[in-house]
Chain A
Amino acid sequence: MKQSTSTRLTPPGAACRGLAISVACLTLLCALSISSAAASPQPWHSLTPSQQEALAPLSKQWNSLPEAQQQSMLNVAKHFPELSTEEKQRFLSRLGAWSKLTPEQRQAARDKYRAFSQVPEDKREQVRQMVREEQAK
């Protein structure tokens, strides 16, 4: 009873001001979070050894890559340590060609890969088998 009285006696205006300030702070944090996602360009020498290892095929052209592409490559490089040795070899051998594609070509490739991964497993295996046979010729 005592508590409810003190709660009701709190001026509603003050509570609203508090709410407005907290929500404004939250808005600012969200805005900062979005802006931090668009990071500024990073010179090659500022990358960590792990990032440099994953992005080694791009070392020469890294500083001239657009910011958005650098960020995209850095996001991909985060997963490099989790790959098997064979996957790392494929990754490094393909990264140069991948980085030379236009953003539209990369997006089209992602869309195709996503569509392919939704095909039933047995059909995908048939395609893999056909490609292996083609490569063996």
Chain B
Amino acid sequence: MKPTNPHDITPEAIAGLLTRATERLDDDTVAALRRARNLALEKQILNQPAFTLNTGHGIHWPVPHTPHQWMAMAALLIALLAGGISYWHHAHEHEMSHLDIAILTDDLPMEIFIDR
């Protein structure tokens, strides 16, 4: 069999080899690997807390933990406020122009609506 140059093996081939090798592991080794993985995940979650929906006081509310999360929350609130103002502004302009058109085209004289 021709020896394989390690540089010729693609990442997909390595992944395939690892998968096949994992299938041959005994149950104890698989269980030990699973425990090690779970432990690593728990440590990572403790070190870098993510958004949570539970404050621990029975109140479900997204509470930011890190400066980045506070920034994201503040930016989200600003975006919501800006969006709301923009929506209100456009709706108000739309209503005003419709009323103007109605006053300017109604068969009733415009003067009856105007305070002199």
- For B51-82 the 0/1 string (1 means CB < 8 A from A) is 10000000000000010110110011011001
Cβ-based interface call for A11 (8 A): yes
In the assembly, what is the distance between CA of A87 and CA of B51, in Å? 58
Q: Contact: B99 with A72, CB < 8 Å?
A: no
Contact partners of B69 in chain A: CB under 8 A = 16
Nearest neighbor of A35 in chain B, beta-carbon distance: B86
Contact partners of B109 in chain A: CB under 8 A = 131, 135
Asked if A37 meets B115 with Cβ closer than 8 Å, knowing A20-B72, A128-B107, the reply is: no
Cβ-based interface call for B5 (8 A): no
Contact partners of B114 in chain A: CB under 8 A = 101, 105, 108-109
Q: Contact: B82 with A109, CB < 8 Å?
A: no
Q: Contact: A110 with B89, CB < 8 Å?
A: no
Q: What is the interface size of chain B, counting residues whose CB is below 8 A from a CB of the partner?
A: 43
Asked if A23 meets B75 with Cβ closer than 8 Å, knowing A87-B105, A90-B105, the reply is: yes
Select which of A17, A98, A116 is within 8 A of B104 by beta carbon: A98
Within 8 A of B (CB), among A19-36: 19-20, 23-24, 26-27, 30-31, 33-34
Q: Contact: A98 with B110, CB < 8 Å?
A: yes
Q: How far is the CB of A72 from chain B (nearest CB, A)?
A: 7
Q: Contact: B115 with A108, CB < 8 Å?
A: yes
Asked if A113 meets B103 with Cβ closer than 8 Å, knowing A16-B69, A20-B71, A27-B79, the reply is: yes
**B interface vs A, CB < 8 Å?**
37, 41, 44-45, 48-51, 66, 68-69, 71-72, 75-76, 78-79, 82-83, 85-86, 89-90, 93, 96-110, 112-115
